[in-house]
Structure 1
Amino acid sequence: MTSANTSQNILDLQGITKDYLLGKTKVSALRGVDLSVAAGEFTVVTGPSGSGKTTLLNIIGCLDRATSGSYKLDGEEVGNRDFDALAEVRNRKIGFIFQNFNLIPVLNVAENIEFPCVVRRGGEGKAALRQRVEALAEAVGLKPYLHHRPDELSGGQRQRVAIARALITEPKLVLADEPTANLDSSTSEQIIDLMLRLNRENGVTFLFSTHDPRVVSHARRALHIQDGKMLQGEFRGAAPHAHAQAS
């Protein structure tokens, strides 16, 4: 599971646990997860609902903190940082794609895409930023829709906006939590193909959580989590449908 050259890993998790209190009862959502992702990978974490997929992505995305364990992102230990420091890491190094798109309804496509950079308040000028927005919109097939608001777009188009928004900060890692859950099969295939192309042509590193066998079948690397534990074994390359379900 761990890449041979850890110096090239974007992500290294060792012994990650996450416990919650449900009333007075301790619930262990993650139980000693190890995971390494190298730069340029297209990796899927599969598992049934309640297996710990979303909890794992929330920790990797610096939206939550592990109870114990080591988390290194781009060679830096980030698991022991406070939430303000995690927010800075999240804004600089991580892009997100959500199953519900999470677009801002009052902003148009261009404004939604550039929003993470506006929040970051970097030194980039407006003209340069808008040029990058237009280039990304063209890359995801949305150039004619820059001035449309989310309620004027289809589900697939909204997810394309979310993908462009995730890439605008040029992150080290893009996380996708069930990115096809609210899309029909045809649109899902288009979105998967788009992300594969961005991975192949631009070297974007993707890590997905999903229980959708269509996504799993396209993964170059797939791992399985169950009851908060990462199971031994993985497969690489596009897998047959039956293999995807069994893994």
Structure 2
Amino acid sequence: MPPHSLLELHDITREYSLGKSRVNALRGVDLSVSAGEFTVVTGPSGSGKTTLLNIIGCLDRATSGSYRLDGEEIGDRDFDALAEVRNRKVGFIFQSFNLIPVLDVAENIELPCRLREEGGRNQRALRARVEALADAVGLRPYLHHKPDELSGGQRQRVAIARALITEPRLVLADEPTANLDSATSQHILDLMLRLNREQGVTFLFSTHDPRVVAHAWRVLHIQDGKLLSGEYPGVSRRASGAS
């Protein structure tokens, strides 16, 4: 049985005001992503990649169109309701890491659970989840280090663990290897591929990194706010069960 559709966008538009002008950031985007996919969105700067991810991640609202996430219609919800959906169903990995400098690794990882008031009810269970994720991303010895004591690759691993702590249905990654050197980028990519393969985590990236593109199940191209036909470089890997 094929995996079910995790997110569905139909005729999504996003318009902004820029002075007296209107900017059409997205123009009639249709997109369906199945649970367990490892999908990449590429396109030139200003093409609409980040706008698309912000709408999918409930950081922004479409001007028009329909958006269903995990079977829920959410496109018409207000920002408070979108924040609740985001906290329950979506994890984020940013190119700038966005860690809290005064918190240590463990506190940064568990922060999303704190924000939805899970920590106080079962601190022991939460800490066990934090330690399990720290093991998964190779950071167990660094749980009590602050971000400024870590390398760029280690900070991105913290960001990955933080994105996964709430067990989201979808993880969005906006240029996650952009600020990393070549070797560290490959380590981060290998980690995300393993999480996708072994735990079925659904990843949707925006990236210019050809190594990330080469491992995608599907590569979607966006230009001038329009989503173009996708390619499937990973079809043979997926069919063989290797992905």
TM-score range, shorter chain: over 0.9
| Kept in 2: contact 1:218–1:238 (CA 8 A) | no
For 2:177, the equivalent position in structure 1 comes to: 180
For 2:16, the equivalent position in structure 1 comes to: 20
**Tell me, which stretches of 5 or more residues in structure 2 are unaligned?**
237-243
CA RMSD in angstroms, aligned pairs only: 1.5
**Residue 92 of structure 2: which of 76, 89, 96 is its match?**
96
Deviations, residues 72-109 of structure 1 (Å, cap 9, x unaligned): 00010000000000000000000000000000000000
Instruction: Indicate yes or no: 2:165 matched with 1:165.
Output: no
TM-score, length-scaled by structure 1: 0.92
**Tell me, which stretches of 5 or more residues in structure 1 are unaligned?**
240-247
Alpha-carbon distance change, 213 to 34 in structure 1, aligned in 2, over 3 angstroms: same
For 2:207, the equivalent position in structure 1 comes to: 210
| Kept in 2: contact 1:93–1:173 (CA 8 A) | yes
Would you identify which runs of 4 or more consecutive aligned residues in structure 1 move more than 2 Å? Answer: none
Whole-Å separation in 2 of the counterparts to 1:127 and 1:62: 30
Instruction: Indicate yes or no: 2:116 matched with 1:120.
Output: yes
Whole-Å separation in 2 of the counterparts to 1:139 and 1:238: 27
Whole-Å separation in 2 of the counterparts to 1:60 and 1:232: 19
Offset at residue 12 of structure 1 (A): 0.3
**Residue 129 of structure 2: which of 129, 132, 136 is its match?**
132
Instruction: Indicate yes or no: 2:223 matched with 1:226.
Output: yes
Whole-Å separation in 2 of the counterparts to 1:205 and 1:111: 24
SS in 2 for 1:235: coil
TM-score, length-scaled by structure 2: 0.94
Alpha-carbon distance change, 124 to 202 in structure 1, aligned in 2, over 3 angstroms: farther
| Kept in 2: contact 1:219–1:238 (CA 8 A) | no
Whole-Å separation in 1 of the counterparts to 2:70 and 2:42: 23
Offset at residue 233 of structure 1 (A): 3.6
